[in-house]
Amino acid sequence: MKYFISSNSTNPKKSYEVIEAERLFLDSLLQKTTSLKGEFSLSRMSNGTINVSYNTYPVGKIKLQSRKHQMMYMKNLYDSVSINGELQDFIEGIDFWIKYINKYL
């Protein structure tokens, strides 16, 4: 599956290609969320992090572009949690995004 990730900047200093780890993560996100009726949107930050929104509401971030990988998820409407790890940790972390979506969105 091909993904389009828009840039947060109209003139980014560096353009990022979607790497295999991001593709695997996004494929897992779509597989785990087939029961949800809304739509995800993705935008790339200048450091390679992908902001993920569901029906225009932010649900988290994923960074797989550098040596240090990180995922952020919303704990509730006001607090977030960041976790460091590897791709499999983040695929399991998708469940936190789903839990937040079901509870607050």
The per-residue pLDDT for range 64-104, each reduced to its tens digit, is 998 999 999 999 999 999 999 999 999 999 999 999 999 99
Predicted pLDDT at 10: 65
pLDDT tens digits, residue range 15-67?
889 999 999 999 999 999 999 999 999 999 989 999 999 999 999 999 999 89
3-state secondary structure the chain: CCCCCEECCCCCCCCCCCCHHHHHHHHHHHHHCCCCCCCEEEEECCCCCEEEEECCEEEEEEECCCCCCEEEEECCCCCEEEEECCHHHHHHHHHHHHHHHHHHC
What's this model's pTM, rounded to 2 decimal places?
0.91
Residues 64-74 have pLDDT tens digits of 998 999 999 99
Domains of the chain by residue range: 6-104
